[in-house]
Chains A and B, each alone.
Chain A
Amino acid sequence: MKLSFRNRIALFTALAAAVTIGLVFLVVYGVVYFTAYSHLDSDIRQEKEEVLHNLRWVGDSIFIEHMTEWEESEHLQIEVNPTFLQLVDADGHLLFRSTNLDKDVLLFDPALSTEAFFNSRIESQRIRQGQFPILNERNVVIGRLTVGISQEESAVVLHNLRNTLWIAFPLLLLILFVATAIAASQGIAPVQQLIRTASGISETNIHDRLPLPGNKDEIYRLATTINELLQRVENGMKREKQFTADASHEIRTPLTAIRGTLEVLIRKQRAPAQYEEKIGRVIAEVDRLNTMLEQLLQLARLENNPVPVKPAPVPLHDFLVALTEKWQPRLSEKNMELGLQIPPGAVLFADATLLNIILDNLIGNAIKYGRPGGRIDCIWQADNTVLTIRDDGPGISSEHLPHIFDRFYRTDNARSSVVQGAGLGLSIAKKLADISGIVLLVKSEHGTEVSLHFQHSF
C-alpha cells in the first residue's frame, strides 16, 4: 500500500503514540489496581488484628473470647460492606464463622503457611480475602484466620477505568492520526507550493525562479537548490542559443558575400579580369564556408560520440617536423619563421591522431595571428612534460583571454577579416585536449604562449 507523505508521517506518529499511550495506560491501570488492593489488604489486616486481639490460645487450642466485634452488623449481613470471618484449626476444622457467611465457606488453602491475599466470590459478590496463620508461642500453626471483605467498589472503579482506557486508546490514536496528518500537510504546504511553481517553469519562462521562504530552513535550501539547478539549465540553454545564433551568423556572412558579389557582378557586362577577381573572391568565401562546416561537424562529432583515445609513444621531433611541413607555404607567405626547440630523442605519450589535430589548430592559429615577419617557437620541456607554442604577435588582451576557447569567439582584431576564420579552431583544440587529458593553458604578455601540459603517464 502506497501512502502519501503526510499519511506516512501521521501513521508513524500514531504508531509511536500507540506504544507510548499503551504503556502509560498500563502504568495508570497498574497503579490504580495496586493502590485499590493494597487499600483492601490493609483493611483486611486491620480486621485481622482486631480478631486476633480477641483470641487466646493455649498450646494447640484456640479460645475465642466473646467480643462485641462479632456482633457488629458488618459481620451479620451481606448487602452493605460486609466483612466475613472464618477461623479453622490446624487440621482445617471449622472453629468459627461470621453469621453473614451462612453456609458459604470462605476458601482457604491449607498449603499456605504464611499470610496471603487473593480474590474470590461469595454469591455474586466479589471478595478480597486474606488468609493468616495463627501461631502459638512456639511458632506452630494452630489455626488459620480468613478475613474477606467486599471488593465490589474497587472492582467497579477498576472496571470503569479499564473500559475508559480501552475506549480512550483508539479514540486518542484516531485524533492524533488526523491531527498529525493535518499538521503534516500544513508542514509540507511550502513544498506543494514549490512543486506548483516549479512545474510551471518551462523553456519559455526559464528565467523565473522559485520564491525563497523567509526562514532559512530545509524548504529554503530546497528552493535555492532548485533555483541553482534552473540557473544551470538556463545557462546551458543560453549557450545553446548563443551557439545557434553564432553559427547562423557565421554561415550567413559568407553566403551574403557570395550572393551579393555574384549578383552585383552579373548586373552588367564586365571585363574578363573583373570576372576573374570577383569569382576568385567568391571561391575564397566558399572555401571559408567549407572549412567552417568541416570544423562544425568535427565539433558536433566530438560532442556526440566518445572519441577513442589510444595513447602511444610519439617521437615529438619527427612528429612536429611532419606537421609543420604543410604550413611552410603560409609561413613563407607571411615571411615568418618556425623554430623547433625539441631534442631529437624527445618522446611523449599521447594519441597521435588527436595530438595532430590539436597542434595543427594551434600552429595554424599562431601563423594566422602572428606578426608578419615574426617567429613561432615550439619548445619541449622534458622535465615537466610541457610543450609550448609561442608567437611574437600582438597577443590577446586580458578581456578576451577567458573566452578564446568559446565556439565562434573571435577578438575584434581577429574579426576584422584580414584573418579568416570562424573562431572554431581553438574550441576544437581545447575539446580534444580535454579528451586526451592534456591541460591547455594560454598566456599572453608579449605575443601569445599556448602550453600543453601532458600527464606523466609513462
Chain B
Amino acid sequence: MRVLLVEDETAIARFIADGLEEEGFAVDVAGNGREGLRLALDNLAEYDLFLLDWMLPGASGIEICRAIRRENKTTPVIFLTAKDTVDDVVFGLETGANDYLRKPFAFEELLARMRVLLRNGDGEQNVFRYADIELDISGHRVLKAGKQVELTQKEFALLELLLRNKGKVCRRTRIIEKIWDIHFDHDTSVIDVYINFLRKKLDLPGQPSFIQTLRGVGYRVNNDV
C-alpha cells in the first residue's frame, strides 16, 4: 500500500512516515502544498491513500483534495489538521475527504481509520488465502497450516499484493510502485530478493513454489485449484 503524506511540519511527517513504514506502507512525504499537489497528480494511480494536512504553504490541503477528486473519485483522502471546529470538519468532508483527524491524534487511530478506508469496498475482505497460507490484514499476521509465520513489513506487503490480485499478474513496475516509496531507485532486482524470502518461508519443500515467475514481466499467485 502506498500513501502520500503532505505535511509541512517535519516532526509530524517523520513520525507518521516512520510508523506507517513499520506497518508495511510505502510512504511518500511532501513538505509543502505545491510538492504535494505535483506528487499527487503525477502518481495518482499509484497511491492507495492520501494523508493531507490542511494549512500548508504553497497549496492548501483543500486544494490538493479538490485536485485529487477532479481526477479520481475513489482513492481515500484523510485530513490531518489542527482545525477543529465542526464547520471545519464538515467543510473538509464536503471537499471530498473520506475522514478527518484532529491534531493531536493517536497514531493507532490513524492506522485503524486508514485500514477501514483501505478495505475492499463492500466485501471488506480482510483475510486472503491460498492453499494453507492465510493472510489476515486486520490482525497483521500470516498463518501457514495454522501456525504463525514471521514476515517483515515488506514481505507482508508483497504477499498482500500478490494475494489481493490472485490469478492476475503483478507486474514488476506495479510492485515497485505499490511497495516501495518514491525515493527507491528503480532497481527492481530487490523484488526478486523479497520473492525469494517469501518462497523460503511459505513454500512446501519439494513442491513448485506458490508464486509463479513470469520472466521479465512479474509474478503471479494462481487461483486455488
Given contacts A248-B82, A264-B19, contact A259 B106 (CB under 8 A): yes
Q: Which B84-103 residues have a C-beta within 8 angstroms of A?
A: 84, 103
A/B pair count, beta carbons within 8 Å = 75
Q: With a 10 A CB-CB cut-off, give which of B11, B55, B107 has the most chain A CB atoms.
A: B11
B16 contacts the other chain (CB 8 A): yes
B83 contacts the other chain (CB 8 A): yes
Distance between B102 CB and nearest chain A CB, rounded to angstroms: 8
Asked if A249 and B106 sit within 8 Å, CB to CB, the answer is no
Q: Which of A291-299, A409-417, A424-432 contacts B (4 or more CB under 8 A)?
A: A409-417
Asked if B108 and A253 sit within 8 Å, CB to CB, the answer is no
| Interface of B toward A, CB cutoff 8 Å | 8-12, 14-16, 18-19, 22, 31-32, 55, 57-58, 82-84, 103-108
Complex: how many Å from CA A252 to CA B83?
Answer: 10
Report chain A residues within 8 Å CB of B82: 248-249, 252-253, 256
Report chain A residues within 8 Å CB of B18: 264
Asked if A253 and B9 sit within 8 Å, CB to CB, the answer is yes
Report chain A residues within 8 Å CB of B10: 416-417
Report chain B residues within 8 Å CB of A259: 104-107
Given contacts A260-B15, A261-B15, contact A412 B57 (CB under 8 A): yes
A245 contacts the other chain (CB 8 A): yes
Given contacts A252-B103, A255-B103, contact A263 B108 (CB under 8 A): yes
Report chain A residues within 8 Å CB of B11: 253-254, 257, 261, 281, 284-285, 417
Given contacts A253-B82, A261-B15, contact A417 B9 (CB under 8 A): yes
Report chain B residues within 8 Å CB of A248: 82, 84
Asked if A264 and B107 sit within 8 Å, CB to CB, the answer is yes
Query: Given known contacts A256-B105, A267-B107, A416-B8, what 20 new A-B pairs fall within 8 Å (CB)?
Result: A245-B83, A249-B82, A249-B83, A252-B104, A253-B9, A255-B103, A255-B104, A256-B82, A259-B107, A260-B16, A260-B105, A263-B106, A264-B19, A264-B107, A412-B57, A416-B10, A416-B31, A417-B9, A417-B10, A417-B11
Asked if A264 and B57 sit within 8 Å, CB to CB, the answer is no
Asked if B9 and A267 sit within 8 Å, CB to CB, the answer is no
Asked if A264 and B22 sit within 8 Å, CB to CB, the answer is yes
Closest 4 interchain pairs by CB?
A412-B57, A257-B11, A264-B19, A256-B104
Report chain A residues within 8 Å CB of B32: 412, 416
Asked if B55 and A249 sit within 8 Å, CB to CB, the answer is yes
Distance between A6 CB and nearest chain B CB, rounded to angstroms: 45
**In the complex, what residue of chain B is closest to A259 when comparing beta carbons?**
B104
Distance between B22 CB and nearest chain A CB, rounded to angstroms: 7
Given contacts A263-B108, A264-B18, contact A257 B12 (CB under 8 A): yes
Asked if B22 and A267 sit within 8 Å, CB to CB, the answer is yes
Report chain B residues within 8 Å CB of A413: 57
Report chain B residues within 8 Å CB of A281: 11, 14
**In the complex, what residue of chain A is closest to B104 when comparing beta carbons?**
A256
Distance between A245 CB and nearest chain B CB, rounded to angstroms: 7
Q: Which A260-303 residues have a C-beta within 8 angstroms of B?
A: 260-261, 263-264, 267-268, 281, 284-285
Report chain A residues within 8 Å CB of B9: 253, 256-257, 417
Asked if A267 and B83 sit within 8 Å, CB to CB, the answer is no
Report chain B residues within 8 Å CB of A260: 12, 15-16, 19, 104-105, 107
Q: Which of these, B8, B22, B84, B105, contacts A415 with CB under 8 Å?
A: B8
Complex: how many Å from CA A63 to CA B16?
Answer: 146
Q: List 25 A-B contacts (CB under 8 A).
A: A249-B82, A252-B82, A253-B9, A253-B12, A256-B9, A256-B103, A256-B104, A259-B105, A259-B106, A260-B16, A263-B19, A263-B106, A264-B19, A264-B107, A267-B19, A284-B11, A285-B11, A412-B58, A413-B57, A416-B8, A416-B32, A416-B57, A417-B8, A417-B9, A417-B10
